[in-house]
Amino acid sequence: KQEVTQIPAALSVPEGENLVLNCSFTDSAIYNLQWFRQDPGKGLTSLLLIQSSQREQTSGRLNASLDKSSGRSTLYIAASQPGDSATYLCAEQGAQKLVFGQGTRLTINP
Amino acid sequence: NAGVTQTPKFQVLKTGQSMTLQCAQDMNHEYMSWYRQDPGMGLRLIHYSVGAGITDQGEVPNGYNVSRSTTEDFPLRLLSAAPSQTSVYFCASSYRGGASYNSPLHFGNGTRLTVT
């Protein structure tokens, strides 16, 4: 059974810090790993997609890595800003479906 | 491009009533899906479609029907609403060229449904 776990459930850091969000998955035969951002009362916005043949993807201050052998992905946020405050979800695309973690609620304090 | 549009944004139903949640996308995406999001349960797939005329069940399909008569639209029907269907519903779509799964999922802003 595909399972995706995100720890911690919530994280609060001062503005300007670099931080890492973690995602663990059980399916070794993944097609891709996706990271999303969700703001309160809104839908999910796709941030990065890492194909199974890739090790990492970068977009601006965001860098996501993928290690299939250990079943782990990380989202690195550089020089965090208050506008980065949101819930971040990862999702694993398997052969049959996309399975989501429950997310990490991130708060960046000015 | 409007992306993925969901209507209504909010809805209150009484137990036993039926209704349709609307979803439309203007990106010519082949793949469309419905999720529900509940506290402590995360996002769960209800139904999905890989193209017009093709639908399939997800993880929690009971109590819901879907159809896909056009590429753009993918409505979700609640046949007889129950309090357990109180949730936030999200429609999402992506491009699925051939056997490719490597296209990101685009979400609508959700419909918040309360069943009393």
Q: pLDDT of B98-115, one tens digit each?
A: 445 678 889 999 999 999
State the nearest Cα–Cα gap between B38 and chain A, in angstroms: 10
**Interface contact A32-B102, CB threshold 8 A:** yes
What pLDDT does residue B43 have? 93
What pLDDT does residue A94 have? 81
Average pLDDT, chain A: 94
- B95 has a chain A CB within 8 A of its CB: no
Exposed e or buried b per residue across A12-37, where buried means at least 16 C-beta atoms within 10 angstroms of its C-beta: ebeeeeebebebbbebeebbbbbbbb
Phi, psi of A77 (to 5 degrees): -115, 120
Residue A92 · residue A33 · CB < 8 Å? yes
* B chain contacts of residue A9, beta-carbon cutoff 8 Å: none
- pLDDT tens for residues B61-96? 999 999 999 999 999 999 999 999 999 999 999 987
Which of A50-54, B56-60, B87-91 tops mean pLDDT? B87-91
What pLDDT does residue B101 have? 66
